[in-house]
Amino acid sequence: MRYITVILLATSLLYACQHSGEEMDSRQAFQQEHPEFSGYSLEYEAVSLPDNLHASLFANPLSGKVLVYLTYTGEEENISIFSHDALSITASEGGRAPVKEMVPANSTNSNSSFIALFDLVNDRWFYKETGLSGDLCPSYSLEIAPLNQALNFEIDEAEYKLYLDKYGMEKSATLYDVAIDTVVQRNYQINNGMASFLHTDVHELSLAGVNLHLQAYQIGDSLKLAVKLVNHSNYELLIQPDVFIIKSGGQLLQPGTHNTEMVHLRKGDRFIRDFAYFPDQKIAQFVLLKEAIQIIMDENTSNLFAENIRLSEQIHPARNL
């Protein structure tokens, strides 16, 4: 009995090593055959596959994009699964996306083997807050409409944890909420002849006919500030891109922008721009200098805001791993 146990244990270990080697071989084989997709180094395994279809899903840990390598061996006539309309993918914690591009995977049999490339949102909440797709999901579902089938793909749990530890952006991202002193601002508007309307949200400031949307996040040594401004007022606004300076403690950070030309916004005009800053440490809170946005009233120019705009680190829900 003891010898049987030893033999079974040795056999199990040998099978495990062979199985691991096969997984590595399939990944390496794909990258060797298609070096243009060498960045797609994470492999997701299909939970189950029909007999007439081979499918592998690979993901790029840096870009957060995924592709599916498909080979169809069915003999059904008048059916094509290799089209933009036939395939779509869904992220377990994100959205649904159609095929962005179809690439023939085999020059000798280009009608039955394709690589489907997808751009999708992995985390809808994170995308809403930053405009970034977010970390890769632990699973994806590929829908094949002509076959009326959905293929589920999952990544090894340990490998997924290694990916998050090395490349995960959500756990290291600092997101910010916007705030101003509404009492001070409303009094400032009234005293300077502006409309008294004022509404504030975590990302939006609506005042005196001007809608300003600010979204900011920091990842590593890069802090991004997305600005969207619409002028609904009867007055002209002046935007000075090089004065979109942020201040944290005693440190002033100027945006890395080459376009510093003054922007004039009349009624109905928009200003949309992303600013990048490079602090030398994590910033929990900062202010945007009020001089960045000015309003012209009766040929007099003054700041639209009474005080600097405050942006403070928000407490956001962590991804449920």
Residue-level pLDDT at 107: 59
Could you identify the residue written with the tokens 């705009």?
A: 309
* Cross-strand pairs, 213: 204, 228
Residue in 143, 137, 28 with CA at minimum distance from that of residue 91: 137
Domain 34-167 has CATH 1.20.1260: no
| AA identity, residue 92 | S
Rounded CA gap, 310 and 154, in Å?
42
Same fold, 34-167 and 174-313: yes
Structural contact between residues 44 and 141, judged by C-beta atoms closer than 8 angstroms: no
Where along the chain do its domains lie?
34-167, 174-313
Could you report the per-residue pLDDT of 29-41, keeping only the tens digit for each? 787 788 889 999 9
The pLDDT mean for the chain works out to 86
The region that residue 21 occupies, defined by phi over 0 for left and psi between -120 and 50 for alpha, beta otherwise, is: alpha
Could you report the per-residue pLDDT of 133-161, keeping only the tens digit for each? 999 999 999 998 888 889 999 999 999 99
What is 174-313's CATH number, 2.40.30, 3.10.105, 2.60.40, 2.60.120? 2.60.40
Mean pLDDT by 10 residues, the chain (321 residues): 41 41 63 86 91 90 94 65 85 90 73 87 93 95 89 96 95 95 97 95 96 96 96 95 93 86 95 95 96 93 97 68 37
